[in-house]
Amino acid sequence: MPDDADEVVVPRYGSRSLADVLPSVLARLVPDDERVPDRDVLGLALAGRRVVLLVVDGLGTRQLARVPGVAPLLEGLPGGDVDAVFPSTTVSSITSIGTGLPPSRHGLVGYAFPLPDHDQPLAGLSWRVGLRGGGFDARGVVVPEALQPHPTALERAAAAGVATTVVVDPEFPDSGLTRAALRGGQRRTARGLRETLALAVEAVSGPDAPALAYAHHPQVDWAGHVHGACSPEWCDAVRDVDTTLAGLRADLPDDVTVLVTADHGMLDAAEQHVTELADHPELLDGVRVLAGEPRVRHVALEPGVDAAQVAARWRRTLGERALVVPREVALPWFGPDPTDAARSHVGDLVVLARRGTLVHERVDPHGGRHLGQHGGPTAAERLVPLRALTRDTLARDPLARDTLARDSGAAA
């Protein structure tokens, strides 16, 4: 085992990770139901048995701490941090949220990952095989329900009598990722945060039964990728989330809790720290599929190729720019008890950029040259908030009330 493998901080699977959020919610909504044998390991502060889980894409705890005052409501809400999964990327984290499983179990181990029967990777967000030229829609070949066969937390909730709703953008109700990670319950579509939250709160407010709604907001992530992790544009996007939540609070029913979390944080990777893999063709000798994302690469090898020799070549070329480990060393990063399927989706080698990104196409259509990046195990990428908003949150939390009042007065 390479000595520097110890520098990777493994997410707190089973105690404080994104995979523990919905199991903890269900343990509170339907306690003692044998179909939901979960524990509230997170100790959630819920107002009642109606919950909206809002995932703000790209909202890292470390980012929030660097720009105090941008989100006064979020800063004052009760809760703490949880860990995004490894890799700290949307496909893996959203699937862990939706299934209640780590990537080692659900098998969606990155933005793009190798499949045993294909010579191009599967891109999980678009569910397309082949990155160059856009590939092809793989839903009929790589069936989402077969690739990720485990019951989702939402399916288990619905089976236990929880009124379950998923609110997604109109483009995604039947996407491969939605089907793999978020199947179960009713799907509704909305555009923009205000409409999304309104539908989600409406969905949990109506039924007599316990109720759960999942909602997702992408704009913070987009601003961070394009403009930087704590850029003015990122701050504006976060401020809009905070203002929307503040406006929603007064109209929340007494027994509704809006849990706010994220799928990953973000850091800046300046152009001088981009490693252009195309400049090093020797790295692709013996490589069947190069997958992953700019911060974490899966290297799947041709049959019979010596992984140790390829790893040594990558280490000689990249030096201190990257950490290169074999699959067996990397597997614990994805979570405990890996399934055979998940194991087959992890590269023979896993390569982590210590700084910057590892780009494998000179004209990269998949974000490797964006300023804001994520995927790695650093605290900036891994730590995300988990905060609880209820109608009486500010009444119970003087610090939050004072902070919001001070910020509102300054804005006026």
pLDDT tens by residue, 57-116: 999 999 999 999 999 999 999 999 999 999 999 999 999 999 999 999 999 999 999 999
- Please say if the pLDDT value at position 396 is more than 70: no
Q: Which residues contact 292 (CB under 8 A, 6 or more apart)?
A: 87, 110, 111, 112, 113, 298, 347, 350, 351, 375
DSSP-assigned letters across all residues of 195-248? HHHHHHHHHHHS-SS-EEEEEEE-HHHHHHHHH-TT-HHHHHHHHHHHHHHHHH
Cα–Cα dist 333/102, whole Å = 10
- Please say if the pLDDT value at position 1 is more than 60: no
Per-residue pLDDT band for 241 (boundaries 50, 70, 90) equals very high
Cα–Cα dist 49/390, whole Å = 12
Mean pLDDT of 171-193: 95
Mean pLDDT of 240-264: 96
- Please say if the pLDDT value at position 265 is more than 50: yes
pLDDT of residue 362: 58
Structure tokens at 185: 């319950």
Percent of the chain beyond pLDDT 70? 91
Fold for domain 3-268+377-411?
Answer: Alkaline Phosphatase, subunit A (3.40.720)
pLDDT of residue 43: 94
Q: Write the class of the CATH domain 271-373.
A: alpha beta
**Residues pairing with 213 in the sheet:** 52, 165
What are the boundaries of each domain within the chain?
3-268+377-411, 271-373
Mean pLDDT of 232-244: 98
Mean pLDDT of the chain: 91
Mean pLDDT of 261-277: 93
Cα–Cα dist 51/258, whole Å = 6
Cα–Cα dist 111/105, whole Å = 16
The residue with tokens 């949307």 is 90
- Please say if the pLDDT value at position 222 is more than 70: yes
Q: What b/e string do you get for 37-66 counting C-beta neighbours within 10 Å, with b at 16 or more?
A: ebeebbebbbbbbbbbbbbbbbbbbbbbee
pLDDT tens by residue, 329-364: 999 999 999 999 999 999 999 999 998 999 876 545
Per-residue pLDDT band for 132 (boundaries 50, 70, 90) equals low
Count other Cβ atoms within 10 Å, centred on residue 287: 18
pLDDT of residue 377: 97
pLDDT of residue 411: 35
pLDDT of residue 410: 38
- Please say if the pLDDT value at position 412 is more than 50: no
- Please say if the pLDDT value at position 264 is more than 90: yes
pLDDT tens by residue, 206-221: 888 999 999 999 999 9
pLDDT tens by residue, 381-393: 999 999 999 998 7
Reduce the DSSP state of residue 23 to 3 states and report it: helix
| pTM higher than 0.85 | yes
pLDDT tens by residue, 8-19: 999 999 999 999
pLDDT tens by residue, 319-330: 999 999 999 999
pLDDT tens by residue, 23-63: 999 999 999 888 787 789 999 989 999 999 999 999 999 99
Per-residue pLDDT band for 405 (boundaries 50, 70, 90) equals very low
